[in-house]
Structure 1
């Protein structure tokens, strides 16, 4: 999710039906909770590196604790983990995935594996091949995708912690493994996606396959992308959408898109990423992704209460998807705090964190109200 660039496709349309102003309701509703959904996820990819560099996590009463347990006790049911092929910092690989999946399973949580098929961040603005795959193309690149996917998922299954879901790519509106898998060549893109999906199912038969886009409020773009995937027979089980209200439109637009996707494709829909700031002002001096009041979603202040209201309302959107097709929501990197050495750039140990004001732990390391799943 790190570097955001908006990708707009011709023909994209909002087609949103008006809803009640959820934000004002959420901020005045006291302890009222959103309807329950089966997936209440937290992306904890940064935790191993953070802990190795001295990150501390506290319960709301100030006592030090395990961040996975703190979040699980608050209501989280899934852990999401990104996988890079050969990260410059040695993290986000198989050893960390296996260890984190064991921690999650010990607390009764399931794991969602997020394959980036890159050595670093993959998102709508960058889908770079791993260095080891730079010279591969065609069938050889498809084999590399399949082998990597099977290696991670097979290892998870072998240790008794099979992945509940696996994303074949991260925010792949424009494709993956550029230039080979660009969405400008849908036949090639479909071949890569199909290779990864089939390898995942063969290595871990019970794992559900997710195809994940950004721009969760873009109904037209979602239709364009999934119509292409379906027409080429790409196998998948779940439609994943990133939705950040300060980038991707209104909650009304998310509702319209999720409802449409569930009905049009007969698939479950998951908000695979979201987040919201609990304050403005960086802790480590690195400019935050959301750092000014002009960037905020109207009705949701940058306060612990505003963050909690956002989580309550986006969870309610997914609970309203007809037919129970709204699986739920994953919060992106709630434990990525401003710990020296655990910055955004895996190739630069001195880089800072642009996300810490959207974590679910405050600058005093204490769990914020939104840790208790709304």
Structure 2
């Protein structure tokens, strides 16, 4: 397995200049021609992992004025500057694969946005309640499993690089509160969990040196979960560059908890912080006959499901991120902004009849028209 090697100061400077030329976001981070450092631009992001499948099954997207258009171009024109896309290993439906993320990455590049890659290390959804191994890795001894994490990560990032796409952030695992690749890398196998995470981060640094290797947890208001995880990651030598949090105000507690957690993480670890998943319903209605995940007409007390409250929660969460000490709050990403209800484009890669329980939290309404929340996201 390849590992990072030492780089001289002169070599590091040359790499930084080359990376800056590759993407606008990195150029901002390096500085101007007088050598003055410039802050990275605030990430105004949208996860659109379900977009290619939605499009293939006939989804139509419209600008706020009702005119149809390409979803990514609509996002870019609204001010979105980063697209997040997940990668599965060998999903049954053939979506969210290496080939698919490369295709999507090319489109993102052409639209003038940055790409963030989210590795799930599974054939299906990975989150705090499930971290299932890909079928092809199920019987691998631990050393080979660690190598598989490195090789898969490097393979996807190498394919993106060869296609001219350079991600700015790469997530090594998705919502890994309880570890990854269970049972080998579960929370009660800390040494092995650390080695798996380190393998992914090493692959990011080796293959996409201009990208930040991010570790990502759910429950953005749960400071104890975050400090336990990141203290252990550091103790096990995991070389990560950024921290990502999921925060859904109807599941993860009051906004004060998110604020306190982000502020503490900034002080403890000094790493850039992002809310990489959030959302809020614009309606309680359903468009595809599949029950919605969030059905409460008032998911947070005092904030009924509405387009206006989508905007409110987006802006409130962004405020919490922007107020993080030392400028370490770096962005907000809306989860599955384009996942409208389309027959055949459901949540389960193994079940073509599955539906979408999230379409009432997209940033496009049931007619595919951009909601006010999209405009607000682009102005954060």
Q: What TM-score, normalized to structure 1?
A: 0.89
Give the drift of 1:233.
Answer: 1.2
Aligned partner of 2:238 in structure 1 is 234
Give the drift of 1:137.
Answer: 2.7
Alpha-carbon distance between aligned partners in 2 of 1:297 and 1:209, rounded to the nearest angstrom: 33
Aligned partner of 2:72 in structure 1 is 68
Give the drift of 1:323.
Answer: 0.8
Query: Does the alignment pair 1:146 with 2:150?
Result: yes
User: Which of 319, 323, 326 does residue 326 from structure 2 map onto?
Assistant: 323
**How do 1:78-117 and structure 2 match up within 5 A?**
78-117=82-121
**How do 1:334-353 and structure 2 match up within 5 A?**
334-353=337-356
Aligned partner of 1:44 in structure 2 is 48
Query: Does the alignment pair 1:125 with 2:112?
Result: no
Give the drift of 1:247.
Answer: 0.5
| Deviation sequence 1:120-142 (CA, Å, 0-9, x none) | 00000100000000111311000
Higher relative contact order (CA 8 A, sep 6+): 1
Aligned partner of 2:314 in structure 1 is 311
Task: Tell me, yes or no, if the aligned pair for 1:300 and 1:307 is still in contact at 8 Å.
Answer: no
Query: Does the alignment pair 1:225 with 2:229?
Result: yes
Q: Tell me, what secondary structure is at the counterpart of 1:113?
A: strand
Alpha-carbon distance between aligned partners in 2 of 1:300 and 1:242, rounded to the nearest angstrom: 20
| Deviation sequence 1:27-64 (CA, Å, 0-9, x none) | xxxxxxxxx96111100111111111100000111111
Alpha-carbon distance between aligned partners in 1 of 2:347 and 2:163, rounded to the nearest angstrom: 30
Give the drift of 1:163.
Answer: 1.0
Q: Tell me, what secondary structure is at the counterpart of 2:260?
A: helix
Aligned partner of 1:360 in structure 2 is 363
User: Which of 170, 175, 180 does residue 184 from structure 2 map onto?
Assistant: 180
Give the drift of 1:189.
Answer: 0.2
Query: Does the alignment pair 1:156 with 2:160?
Result: yes
Task: Tell me, yes or no, if the aligned pair for 1:37 and 1:326 is still in contact at 8 Å.
Answer: no
Task: Tell me, yes or no, if the aligned pair for 1:137 and 1:180 is still in contact at 8 Å.
Answer: no
Give the drift of 1:232.
Answer: 1.2
Q: Tell me, what secondary structure is at the counterpart of 2:302?
A: coil
Q: Any gaps of 5 or more consecutive residues in structure 2? A: 1-39
Q: Tell me, what secondary structure is at the counterpart of 1:287?
A: coil
Alpha-carbon distance between aligned partners in 2 of 1:88 and 1:300, rounded to the nearest angstrom: 38
Task: Tell me, yes or no, if the aligned pair for 1:288 and 1:357 is still in contact at 8 Å.
Answer: yes
Alpha-carbon distance between aligned partners in 2 of 1:320 and 1:301, rounded to the nearest angstrom: 26
User: Which of 299, 303, 326 does residue 300 from structure 1 map onto?
Assistant: 303
Alpha-carbon distance between aligned partners in 2 of 1:360 and 1:300, rounded to the nearest angstrom: 17
Task: Tell me, yes or no, if the aligned pair for 1:268 and 1:325 is still in contact at 8 Å.
Answer: yes
Alpha-carbon distance between aligned partners in 1 of 2:41 and 2:356, rounded to the nearest angstrom: 31
User: Which of 260, 263, 266 does residue 264 from structure 2 map onto?
Assistant: 260
| Deviation sequence 1:157-186 (CA, Å, 0-9, x none) | 122111111000000000000000001111
Q: How many residues align?
A: 338
Alpha-carbon distance between aligned partners in 2 of 1:217 and 1:75, rounded to the nearest angstrom: 28
Give the drift of 1:192.
Answer: 0.4
Give the drift of 1:298.
Answer: 2.3
User: What value does the CA root-mean-square deviation take over the aligned residues?
Assistant: 1.1
Task: Tell me, yes or no, if the aligned pair for 1:40 and 1:328 is still in contact at 8 Å.
Answer: yes
| Deviation sequence 1:265-319 (CA, Å, 0-9, x none) | 110110010000000021111111111225x112322111110111111111101
Q: Tell me, what secondary structure is at the counterpart of 2:118?
A: strand
Alpha-carbon distance between aligned partners in 2 of 1:37 and 1:171, rounded to the nearest angstrom: 24
Alpha-carbon distance between aligned partners in 2 of 1:205 and 1:149, rounded to the nearest angstrom: 13
Q: Any gaps of 5 or more consecutive residues in structure 1? A: 1-35
Give the drift of 1:365.
Answer: 1.2
Q: What TM-score, normalized to structure 2?
A: 0.87
Alpha-carbon distance between aligned partners in 2 of 1:99 and 1:287, rounded to the nearest angstrom: 31
Q: Tell me, what secondary structure is at the counterpart of 2:67?
A: coil
